[in-house]
Amino acid sequence: MPAQYTALGLYLDGEWIGSRDRDCVDVTNPATSAVIGQLPLATPDDVDRALASAQQGFEAWRTVSAWDRGAVLKRTAELLRERADAIARVITLEEGKTLPEARGEILRTADTFEWSGEEARHRCGRLLPSGAPGVRQLVVEEPVGPVAAFGPWNFPVLSPARKLAELLAAGCSCVIKPAEETPGSFLEVVRACLDAGVTERAVNVVFGDPPVVAEHLIASPIIRKVSFTGSIPVGREIAALAGRHLKPVSLELGGHAPVIVFDDVDVVPVAIAAARAKFRNAGQICVVPSRFFVHRKVHDRFVEAFTKTAFALRVGDGLDEATEMGPLANARRVVAMAALVEDAATAVGATVQTSDRDVPQGGSFWRPTVVLTQSDDVCVMREEPFGPIAPITPFSDLREVLTRANALGYGLAGYAFARSFETRRAVADRLAVGMLAINSFEISTPESPFGGVKDSGHGTEGGIEGLAAYLVPKYVNER
Ligand code: NAD
């Protein structure tokens, strides 16, 4: 095993558990396809132990004062910043993104812990005016209880850590199942939490056969809340399970973010920024700019600057300093990209253009690709590519483009570029998304709510709303 990867295991009942007597799966580096680690999978007994531990951890952690919980989370943030370079290598090895992108993910995770630590101290209940003499009416916010959380592989640290930071800030405990494809980097976050002083049984981490583990966890009466980030089909399964067991659930699912570029902007800088944003993490981001609607008057200039920027990107191993775009995170994404390109290549009115720069052999690489299309009836306009394929299409007016942008089931992020106040206002009012960036590609900060509408999920992470998802109001009438 390469020395720079990390020790893999389960963490439950305050104990690290290695591969002895357990089935294991390979963890591979998507840049080389080399096996870099063996991940032990939880037995049913392990999952039961993790659940019992989460119950114990909850009883202990909920009694820690909000000030002390906040201090521990802020200490976790400091440790993550100190360890950012080492953890970034682990992310790049298992997920493929470039080292600067991986470092950025850790630093954003640290910011999230810091925000959650501060927010722990800001939450407060209410004292209601009483309707009768001698009556005191309180609303107190209580932690919901042990949480079952499921993280994705594309942001293997930030996504599960956002859940962890918020639920810990609220006084909850958890059993977390990060993605089996990218397990090591999140374990580093767990180590930072424990080193900072999180009560050991408040955090439990298991890996396994995802549907089996999900069913086991969600069915347990110990679990009081479910949080999932991942694909829409799996989100439906999780929501069905949560419904069957009457558990509240937060779902952050896929997106296919429209980017609407109007004709009153300086189009070349917008196109360059759009290409840079689109190919971050090889396009595998749920809020990535994804469907490009460009006003006819500026369409050709946009396409020229976008493709020039995209096709100049150096694609390679994320560990290589010269690399600007890493591989796809797994071979499944390569198969998905091939299907989308094949569909576009045979669709009427669509053309496919691809970078001709060399890419390394042996890994899950895909060259930056642009699909120019006159119609939305091509797969890559309807289905989230979750990869480095960018469909670009012209539009003629505001009403038409809003109808087209809102036509899909997705409703996570959206972007618009316009100078006209009326245009910006119309987009802000009528684009059906949970997050909207206007004249910017900045869509997510620790203090802002993160979540979608329609098939992109429900419930929110981030911001004051994120912590609220792990709290329940309790009304107390006292005479
Ligand atoms: P997929 O639907 O096959 O999901 C596989 C992933 O989901 C694995 O990581 C697995 O561990 C997990 N999973 C599967 N069944 C599960 C279950 N019952 N309970 C819990 N976890 C389960 O898709 P994929 O090939 O991994 O990814 C493709 C799609 O996933 C993309 O198109 C994108 O829409 C979506 N995705 C979204 C996000 C996001 O941030 N919302 C992140 C990653 C992937």
Ligand 1: centre distance to CA 204 (Å)? 21
Closest among 460, 470, 458, 466 to 236, alpha carbons compared: 458
Each residue's pLDDT tens digit, 363-389: 999 999 999 999 999 999 999 999 999
| Closest Cα to atom 2 of ligand 1 | 231
Q: Is the C-beta atom of 255 inside 6 A of ligand 1?
A: no
Q: Give the Å distances, CA to CA, from 445 to 111, 291, 435, 462.
A: 9, 22, 11, 8
Alpha helices for 245-330 (secondary structure H): 267-278, 296-311
Cα–Cα distance, 80 to 194 (Å, whole number): 12
The residue to which tokens 């009081």 are assigned: 224
Ligand 1: centre distance to CA 291 (Å)? 21
425-429: long-range contacts at Cβ-Cβ below 8 A with a sequence spacing of 24 or more?
426/398, 426/402, 427/260, 427/398, 427/402
Cα–Cα distance, 448 to 72 (Å, whole number): 22
pLDDT of amino acid 4 = 77
**Atom from ligand 1 closest to the CA of residue 181:** 9
Strand partners, 369: 354, 389
Q: Is the C-beta atom of 179 inside 6 A of ligand 1?
A: yes
| b/e per residue 210-240 (b: at least 16 CB within 10 A) | beebbbbbbebebbbbbbbbbebebbebbbe
| Closest Cα to atom 27 of ligand 1 | 231
Q: Enumerate residues 6+ apart whose C-beta is below 8 A from 348.
A: 375
Q: Is the C-beta atom of 461 inside 6 A of ligand 1?
A: no
**Atom from ligand 1 closest to the CA of residue 412:** 41
| Closest Cα to atom 44 of ligand 1 | 230
Structure tokens at 98: 């470039």
The number of helices, as runs of H, and strands, as runs of E, in the chain is 15, 20
Q: Which of 176, 186, 205, 234 to mutate to test the pocket of ligand 1 (most atoms within 8 A of CB)?
A: 234
What are the phi and psi torsion angles at 342 (to 5°)?
-60, -40
Q: Is the C-beta atom of 236 inside 6 A of ligand 1?
A: no
Phi and psi based region of residue 381 (left: phi greater than 0; alpha: psi -120 to 50; beta: remaining): alpha
Which residues of the chain are in CATH 3.40.605.10 domains? 10-253+454-478
Cα–Cα distance, 300 to 335 (Å, whole number): 30
Q: Is the C-beta atom of 332 inside 6 A of ligand 1?
A: yes
Closest among 306, 457, 312, 462 to 384, alpha carbons compared: 457
Interior CA angle at 407 toward 402 and 409, to 5°? 130
Cβ-based neighbour number of residue 422 at 10 Å: 9
Structure tokens at 303: 């396409």
Q: Is the C-beta atom of 389 inside 6 A of ligand 1?
A: no
Contact 438, 462 (CB under 8 A): no
DSSP-derived letter for residue 175 is E
Alpha helices for 65-157 (secondary structure H): 66-82, 84-95, 99-122
Ligand 1: centre distance to CA 61 (Å)? 30
Q: Is the C-beta atom of 237 inside 6 A of ligand 1?
A: yes
What are the phi and psi torsion angles at 8 (to 5°)?
-105, 150
Ligand 1: centre distance to CA 4 (Å)? 27
Amino acid letter, 222: I
Cα–Cα distance, 152 to 238 (Å, whole number): 14
Strand partners, 127: 138
Q: Is the C-beta atom of 383 inside 6 A of ligand 1?
A: no
Interior CA angle at 73 toward 441 and 470, to 5°? 75
Ligand 1: centre distance to CA 309 (Å)? 30
**Residues acting as catalytic residues:** 252, 286
Which residues of the chain are in CATH 3.40.309.10 domains? 257-438
Ligand 1: centre distance to CA 152 (Å)? 6
Q: Is the C-beta atom of 386 inside 6 A of ligand 1?
A: yes
| Closest Cα to atom 18 of ligand 1 | 211
**Atom from ligand 1 closest to the CA of residue 214:** 19
Q: What is the pTM of this model?
A: 0.97
Q: Give the Å distances, CA to CA, from 193 to 160, 190, 198, 303.
A: 13, 5, 6, 46
- 128 CA to centre of own chain: 38
What are the phi and psi torsion angles at 466 (to 5°)?
-65, -45
Q: Which of 95, 218, 231 to mutate to test the pocket of ligand 1 (most atoms within 8 A of CB)?
A: 231
Ligand 1: centre distance to CA 254 (Å)? 9
CATH class of 10-253+454-478: alpha beta
Q: Is the C-beta atom of 116 inside 6 A of ligand 1?
A: no
Q: Give the Å distances, CA to CA, from 448 to 111, 254, 442, 472.
A: 12, 19, 11, 21
CATH architecture of 257-438: 3-Layer(aba) Sandwich (3.40)
Q: Is the C-beta atom of 330 inside 6 A of ligand 1?
A: no
Cα(first)–Cα(last) distance of the chain, in Å?
66
Closest among 335, 168, 149, 145 to 230, alpha carbons compared: 149
Ligand 1: centre distance to CA 183 (Å)? 14
Ligand 1: centre distance to CA 218 (Å)? 17
Residues of the chain with pLDDT under 50: 1-3
Q: Is the C-beta atom of 88 inside 6 A of ligand 1?
A: no
Interior CA angle at 450 toward 232 and 68, to 5°? 120
pLDDT of amino acid 1 = 47
Structure tokens at 162: 């956002």
Cα–Cα distance, 16 to 400 (Å, whole number): 56
**Atom from ligand 1 closest to the CA of residue 159:** 40
Q: Is the C-beta atom of 153 inside 6 A of ligand 1?
A: yes
Give the containing element (helix H, strand E) for 40.
strand 35-40
The residue to which tokens 């119950």 are assigned: 55
